[in-house]
């Protein structure tokens, strides 16, 4: 079973985080652990929803024992993610190890600032393009181990693409019953 980390900072976009978490779990082949990037176990979304998470990034001894990370958007959340040295170190470790990195909405801008979008196809919320990547104005883009999403409205296609990259089409097929009632 694949397992990953959902990195949450105060100001995160709640639909992007919660829908992605839900879809990944519904694949029946992926575990996802929501983690706070701060010293608190409570994280507040951009819309004021307070959630308690089971773990903090600072307490995870071996982040590379996980298969992927997800960075949700939300302008304030992305600013907080990008300002965290620990988050940037984690992104670098995943990038250097060739592991899957998912980023949606404004969050791909962090990857662009770090040079990890250079030469890559990606999408993000308009105006947050950073780096020397190839921007596509579409719902979600896969380029190798990088999965990006355009905005909150594309949270489900973004999460489906993460499933596609992590466990293949069989994982996406398993979503049909629980997510779509098909």
Distance CA 131, CA 167 (A): 29
Q: For the segment 149-178, what is each residue's pLDDT rounded down to a tens digit?
A: 999 999 999 999 999 999 999 888 888 776
Q: For the segment 72-93, what is each residue's pLDDT rounded down to a tens digit?
A: 999 999 999 999 999 999 999 9
Task: Print the domain residue range for 43.
Answer: 2-180
Q: For the segment 126-144, what is each residue's pLDDT rounded down to a tens digit?
A: 999 999 999 999 999 999 9
Are the beta carbons of 161 and 116 closer than 8 angstroms?
Answer: no
pLDDT of residue 2: 97
In this structure, how many other beta carbons lie within 10 angstroms of the beta carbon of residue 163?
A: 26
Q: What is the CATH number of the domain that holds 51?
A: 3.40.50.880
Q: Is this model's pTM higher than 0.85 or not?
A: yes
Question: What confidence category does residue 181 fall into, taking pLDDT thresholds of 50, 70 and 90?
Answer: confident
Distance CA 97, CA 80 (A): 24
Is the pLDDT at 182 greater than 70? The verdict is: no
The SS3 assignment for 175 reads: helix
Q: For the segment 22-68, what is each residue's pLDDT rounded down to a tens digit?
A: 999 998 889 999 999 999 999 999 999 999 999 999 999 999 999 99
Provide the number of structural domains found in the chain: 1
The SS3 assignment for 9 reads: coil
Catalytic residue numbers, as ranges: 105
pLDDT of residue 66: 98
């Amino acid at each position: 079973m694949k397992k990953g980390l959902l990195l949450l900072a105060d100001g995160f976009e709640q639909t992007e985080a919660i829908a992605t978490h839900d879809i990944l779990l519904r694949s029946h082949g992926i575990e996802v652990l929501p983690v706070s990037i701060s010293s608190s176990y409570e994280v507040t979304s951009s819309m004021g929803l307070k959630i308690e998470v089971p773990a903090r990034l600072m307490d995870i001894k071996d982040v590379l024992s996980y298969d992927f990370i997800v960075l949700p958007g939300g302008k304030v959340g992305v600013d907080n993610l990008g300002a965290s040295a620990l988050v940037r170190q984690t992104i670098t470790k995943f990038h250097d190890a060739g592991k899957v990195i998912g980023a949606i909405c404004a969050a791909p801008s962090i990857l662009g600032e770090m040079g990890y979008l250079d030469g890559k196809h990606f999408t993000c919320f308009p105006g947050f393009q950073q780096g020397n990547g190839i921007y596509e104005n579409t719902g979600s883009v896969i380029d190798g181990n990088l999965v990006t999403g355009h905005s909150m409205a594309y949270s489900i296609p973004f999460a489906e693409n993460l499933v596609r990259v992590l466990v293949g089409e069989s994982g996406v097929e398993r979503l049909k019953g629980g997510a779509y009632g098909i």
